[in-house]
Amino acid sequence: MLRAPLPLLSALLAAGLLAGCSSTPEDKTAGWSTDRIYSEARDELNSGGYDKAVPLFEKLEGRAAGTPLAQQAQLDKAYAQYKGGEKAQAVATLDRFLKLHPASPAADYALYLKGLVNFNDNLGMFSWLSRQDLSERDQKAAKDSFESFRELTTRFPDSRYAQDARQRMTYIVNSLAQYEVHVARYYYERGAYVAAIGRAQQAIADYEGVPALEEALYILVRSYDALGMTQLRDDAMRVMDASYPQSAYAKGGFKARSNPWWKFW
């Protein structure tokens, strides 16, 4: 085997090292003021360049450490991560912000944004375009979103974000109740009547005054009837008649289901 002469081998190694050094990305912000970094980051954010905005906000956090501008950069970074689809990273950024700055005047916004991240992950204001019933999705994000909005409205009842947060909480509760009913109907349609009864009863016990309870009662009536439990069937029917005297389910069955409530958010 041929071997490179030692002087040539040394030269090649040195060239490789130099090439490696030259490949290190140049920090174009090295001579920039904090104001310029913030301006450039905001421009990227406003133009939809979220992947470019995030590292600029991170630079600003370090350069302006200990100042209100650094706090603003952290919040803007979370928003850029959220809009860029990096939702787990956005939540982590917001959790860090709330831990470091619990008394910040922007704490209400941080909680609101955290609620939005999870709200859109599970529900979303425009997800009806997919024609998928939102209550049929995984509910963990909805519950996390609810907790963020609940903390916001509890700690900052007069916040500019509180009213919208309360509306979203109502929406989430409706979704969670409908999820239970969706599962109950799934069991009923497959002849698992005991399981259907359990999920329908869970919805009725855990949620009050939500649209899904009408169908939950109807599932109870049908499931008890299928099991030959006539007394419980009649009891459930009396409750249904008293609560929903004009119920379309009594006449049209499951086909009478109205347009999904979530489309009117």
The secondary structure of 192-204, three-state, reads CHHHHHHHHHHHH
What's the pLDDT at 21? 52
From CA 167, how far away is CA 194, in angstroms rounded? Answer: 34
Q: Is the pLDDT of residue 161 over 80?
A: yes
Model pLDDT for residues 195-241, shown as the tens digit of each residue: 999 999 999 999 988 989 999 999 999 999 999 999 999 999 999 99
pTM for the whole structure: 0.75
Residue 51: domain span: 33-87
**Number of domain units in the chain:** 2
Place of tokens 């359990």: 198
Nearest to 75 by CA among 96, 52, 48, 47: 96
Final residue of a structural domain among 87, 112, 128? 87
Evaluate whether residue 143 is within a structural domain. Answer: no
- Report yes or no on 41 lying in a domain: yes
Residue 66 belongs to a domain: yes
Residue 150 counted as domain residue: no
Q: Is residue 124 part of a domain?
A: no
Confidence of residue 137 (pLDDT cuts 50, 70, 90): low
Asked, for residue 141, whether it belongs to a domain, the answer is no
End-to-end CA distance of the chain: 75
Q: Give the domain-ending residue among 87, 114, 133.
A: 87
- Main-chain phi, psi angles of 33, to 5 degrees: -80, 165
Classify residue 206: in a domain, yes or no: yes
Q: Residue 148: CA atoms inside 13 Å, Cβ hemisphere, count?
A: 28
Asked if residue 94 belongs to a domain, the reply is no
Q: What is the pLDDT of residue 29?
A: 81
Of residues 260 and 125, more confidently modeled? 260
If you search the block for the tokens 């239970």, which residue do you land on?
A: 180
Domain boundary among 65, 87, 109: 87
